[in-house]
Structure 1
């Protein structure tokens, strides 16, 4: 019994230190970029030796893989919750729009933006990023297919293409949040639920239509373009 308790304690301590490294690395990558952040910088912020970090991760690329996997696991848990509701279509619109436009997370996209940039140059980063992307696409596809069976997503279109388009939309807004001030994201806030509802073939959500009518978002855009 005592041996099991000791083993469980060591496992928890090891996982805690592993998360400590990931948190420190994420902060360093946001601040210095993937190429600029050194293992010594990460170890200093994590409060442990570089050798200790190598006990958990063999390279910076392995750290990136773990960061992406952790974020994907959190996202997949949130998507799983959508499958339990009675109106999957509307819940998908609400959850994704909320996640895309959350101003409390306005600094968070800087990290995935840096990781995607590193993936474009480094195959050792690209491979795990693509693997995680496939996982999240598969989970979204499960939700969309369940919505089609449920009848709350009426549009008959290639499911894979729809899920990829939703991910592209999410990524694009993440870039917007990482680069531009929050008010630039707020400009699209009234229109995003309408766009997503249109993609899924859902009725236009009345609150979003009322917001657009009240703010004159569409009229203002049309005037600017004329």
Structure 2
């Protein structure tokens, strides 16, 4: 008799695998973390894991897709009159402290791996393009309200903002004793001044 798959249980197990893989990637890097390590972390056999993901690259790809979906939800959760800089940095503003940004640090592993792995580079580029589209839309809306400098090209500006978003989670790793709330306000002020229309 074929065992019936319960969608909720299947998705729950997939999320457990992704969480286990994330912990392994942060400890050992994308290259250093093996499927056997991920299986041990997730407390399952390789055969069981392959039922959910056919390869390590498939796990990485799903992580990248989930990150983009998370950004979508952050962007859509703001009122229309919200300050553009706050909307653009919505993921940062959804966090309560530096520890909440730990999941973002996998992006730096992806960046390092992209220099060696064409598949990872393609995944990273595809997801970055998606993020840039969201940022460009927010910038265009801000320009229509007169809140963002009309001389800024949304497409190019979005690329600069992606770099700011990706770098923010690294602050506590590079400098000790940084206050999270103050740092978040400073980043928002910096982006706000950058976007402000010229007088």
Q: Unpaired segments of 5 or more residues in structure 2?
A: none
Pick one of 45, 60, 70 that aligns with 1:74.
70
Decide which structure has the larger Cα Rg and report it: 1
2-side partners of 1:121 and 1:100: how far apart? 32
Pick one of 33, 46, 57 that aligns with 2:42.
46
2-side partners of 1:67 and 1:120: how far apart? 18
Pick one of 23, 29, 32 that aligns with 2:28.
32
TM-score between both structures, scaled by the size of structure 1: 0.74
Pick one of 102, 112, 118 that aligns with 1:117.
112
Shift of 1:190: 5.6
- What is the root-mean-square deviation of aligned Cα atoms in Å? 2.8
Deviates more, 1:181-190 or 1:171-180: 181-190
TM-score between both structures, scaled by the size of structure 2: 0.83
Corresponding residue pairs, total: 196
Are the counterparts in 2 of residues 88 and 143 from structure 1 also a CA contact under 8 Å? no
Shift of 1:127: 0.9
Residue matched to 1:193: 188
Pick one of 52, 56, 70 that aligns with 2:52.
56
Give the 5 Å matches for 1:81-100: 81-82=77-78, 84-92=79-87, 95=90, 98=93
Residue matched to 2:167: 172
Shift of 1:99: 5.7
